[in-house]
A and B are shown apart, each in its own frame.
Chain A
């Protein structure tokens, strides 16, 4: 079982690689729309990457009001 920190770290790494943003520029409480410079279509792409990586299903409506990586990690952990 992953720890909360480990889950968060994997999300940050995955986002950095996929959207080609230096890892050191992404922090857990950042707004991922702003930090990654992504729109809703790219957010769906991120959601798919996360579902595939963690092998979970995360309904997109659970992302309502979620914009920082830490909260996103909590949503994913609830389904691990």
Chain B
């Protein structure tokens, strides 16, 4: 289908560009609904790619691109499920997320993440699946998973390894600190930093430029320069699921969910 209006995301083809909008309040937490709809998007991508030159992923919410996996939903699931069933569900979700991001990573069109505000965890990993990241000045990138006793589980580490130097990856992972758009651009991950509120507009202008190129050549260039690290992605899933079975994760999730102060997205 070339048009879809869901509860967490929507897409449409406009002027040769697929636009995928994230719009799940409060900040595009990626839970079961988002993953289900993203799965539908992945299934439609081959057909969409035949009608377009570019894909733009953006958030229509003011708070940001995405706060990452829906931790509250995960914690609720943990509290209401048998342990084995819960761990099975965690693996199923991680594999679903990988299937979606791998499909975007491998799509035979040029993909752009137009981001602003919070670009955390799974949201960051979704952006890393894209060929270009265009960030407005409000964007902050972060892998806070260590705070929860985890590593990023949706392809973050293998894709960072593909795109960045190891020292920068260690900084992001081991400190769990958030970095502003300018810093991430200096590291080479962000393609363009633009004024507040301008990322989507600039992404659309970039997509217009991409339309001038032969699509077969662009797809061949992408396949050549952007190999997908499937083996490491699978290893990441295994490590993530192994870590998820440890009590530290439940404690980390509880601490996040129980916080009643204003600071759940800040380090503790």
A interface vs B, CB < 8 Å?
33, 38-41, 43-45, 47-49, 51-52, 57, 59-61, 63-64
Contact = CB atoms under 8 A, between A and B. Distances in A.
Contacts of B176: 61
Given A41-B118, A52-B180, A64 B268 contact: yes
A33 B266 CA distance: 13
A39 B66 CA distance: 16
Contacts of B5: none
Contacts of B170: none
A60 B266 contact: yes
B118 A44 contact: yes
Given A41-B27, A41-B64, A59-B175, A64 B140 contact: no
Interface residues of B, number: 29
B63 A41 contact: yes
Contact of A44 (B137, B140, B181, B182): B140
Nearest to B268: A64
Main secondary structure of the interface of B (DSSP, over half): loop
Interface stretch (B70-78, B95-103, B257-265): B257-265
Contacts of A64: 266-268
8 contacts: A41-B117, A41-B265, A48-B137, A48-B140, A48-B180, A57-B180, A64-B266, A64-B268
B175 to A, nearest CB: 7
A61 B26 CA distance: 23
Contacts of A61: 175-177, 267
Contact of B266 (A43, A49, A51, A52): A43
B178 interface: yes
A59 B117 contact: no
Residue with the highest number of chain A CB atoms closer than 10 Å, among B139, B142, B263: B263
Nearest to A51: B180
A36 to B, nearest CB: 10
Interface of B: 26-27, 63-64, 67, 117-118, 137-140, 142, 175-183, 261-268
Nearest to A33: B262
Interchain residue pairs A-B with the least CB separation, the first 5: A40-B265, A61-B267, A40-B263, A59-B177, A33-B262
A44 B265 contact: yes
B178 A44 contact: yes
A60 B268 contact: no
Contacts of A45: 117, 138
A64 B177 CA distance: 12
B180 A43 contact: no
B107 to A, nearest CB: 30
Contacts of B182: 51-52
Nearest to B139: A48
B175 A40 contact: no
Nearest to B181: A48
Contacts of A52: 137, 180, 182
